[in-house]
Chain A
Amino acid sequence: MSDVGGTGPDSTGIEAMTDEDVPPEYPGARPPDRLRTVDSAGLTIQVHEWGDEAAPAILLTHGGFDFARTFSVFAPLLADGGLRAVAWDQRGHGDSQHAPLYSWDADVRDAVAVLDSIGSDPIPILGHSKGGNLMLQLADACPHRVSYLVNFDGLPGNWAAPDVSDHERSRMREEEIRNWLDRRRRAADASRRPGTLSELARRRADMNPRLSFEWLRYLAGVGARRDPDGWRWKIDPTLRMGGFGPWRPDWALHRLSALGMPLLGIVGLQPEQMGMGVTPESIQAYLPPAARLVAFEDTGHFLHIEQPRRAADLVLEALR
């Protein structure tokens, strides 16, 4: 066959396997020990578990545009440390069902459905980035379900407004809304662009500039599916980054102050596009009494991927 990697996605059938068609391995990454699904009011949520089923459970919640298998190195470290690590794909992400509707509250509700599938006792919950913010809301709404909150670079910021004029801000918002509506008019037929695993990895590098090509290619192998015309990320093609709405980041700060359970927060101090830009100084005043905040100086937003051992050790120590 021709070199799939060189000619692009113009083939019409699945051709003979090449290196580009074999999902690669990655040092330390392990497939889940168990896969199962959870029904959340009719929607199918995929759950991935590492570790002994009888071990104490911890819930792992990924960030926006990620999926449970982004914990493929981190979760096995928790499992080897004696935990049952239960990660789930948010609706429209990874192997969970592409939903008719998406909202913040619906994601929190799906998380509670996964918690219900583990048991009714309170357990530690961990979230990265958007997942950290979701778990913050869950902990505030359902304190009886949460024994410990762990947050990886997903603490709310008291974001300063970008340095633009009111006129410019209005123009940007108008454009954002119009583009969103235009996109929804076309979204019924939307599909993600196919490519080779290497092409998908290179595209994702725009979002993950600090992560190695080897890791991103591994992620493509577990986060994409092989269609006749190439590999496609599984994430719902109707989802998009950014957006608009009435939400204010400072509302989440007040949730943070309200928490009664212990909190471990880890922030990566190297700025990057997907990061929240939260520093220990900016968040200190809002931390609840039982909080510990750790800063990784030389690390970006995806701290559990850049420093899985260090992050896992902190979590295991906190829960010991």
Chain B
Amino acid sequence: MSEPTMLRHVRVDLALHRLQDGPGHPLLLLHGLGERSPAAVPGWAASWPGPIHALDFTGHGGSSVPVGGGYTAEVLMADADAALAHLGPATVLGRGLGAYIALLIAGARPDLVRGAVLADGPGLAGGGSVPGSPYVIRLDPAQPAAPDPFVLAELSRDVRPPDYAVAFVFQAVNRSDLPDPIVVSATTRPDWLRAVVESPGVRQLSTSEGLALYARPAP
């Protein structure tokens, strides 16, 4: 894998990897919780005709590991926005935690996300629909290294209410040029994702079918 492009996101440096060149609009891959970007184009994305990029979230892979934790899904959504600011309009495919982030950014930037594919992967469920008993996570990583123990702890406990997720579906569906801007390929269905697949404008397809849908030229 070649050297990543480093993108500044407030006080964090994000590694954006270029996995493939090609014509048309790019595909942006968002990894799961604790993962990092793949070193090469994964088999399930091999049919994508255009450029493929993969982003390491804050505290993961080649991105910087901040001190003191404080992770939220929303700040990772802003990581994805930093990648879109660099790439321009892109199809986004997320695994696990990355699937949740792909949904959030599809709703937040419907003009920049040319379809989002939500796939199985680590961190898909988060902390459930309502908060569990509160717990203060105390870690003291002497040698900060990715994946940041704080991200593993904090984004496996974050609350993902179904109606919050559906609000992002509505934003994507109402503002996107695409008739079906969200594809769910994940077979695991935590509450938030079950609510998403029941929303209008969301299709259930395999990952490769989803990518084929969004690889078509813009209408």
Contact = CB atoms under 8 A, between A and B. Distances in A.
Nearest to A181: B81
B205 to A, nearest CB: 26
A101 B171 contact: no
Nearest to B157: A105
Interface string B1-37: 0000000111110000000000000000000000000
Contacts, number: 123
Nearest to A169: B167
A100 interface: yes
Interface of B: 8-12, 58, 64, 66-72, 74-75, 77-78, 81-82, 85, 107-109, 130-131, 133-141, 144, 150, 154, 158-161, 164, 167, 170-171, 174-175
Contacts of A105: 69-70, 136-137, 154
B161 A41 contact: no
Contact of B71 (A101, A108, A185, A247): A101
A142 B136 contact: yes
A238 B171 contact: no
Interface of A: 40-43, 91, 98-103, 105-106, 108-110, 112, 137-138, 140-142, 170, 173-174, 177-178, 180-181, 184-185, 187-188, 238, 244-248, 251, 255
A103 B154 contact: yes
A42 B136 contact: no
B161 A141 contact: no
B144 A141 contact: no
A31 to B, nearest CB: 27
B67 A102 contact: no
Contacts of A173: 167, 171
8 A-B pairs closest in CB distance: A100-B66, A101-B70, A42-B67, A43-B68, A106-B70, A141-B134, A103-B70, A100-B11
Contacts of A170: 167, 170-171, 174
Contacts of A185: 81-82, 85
Contacts of A251: 130-131
A91 B108 contact: no
A177 B159 CA distance: 18
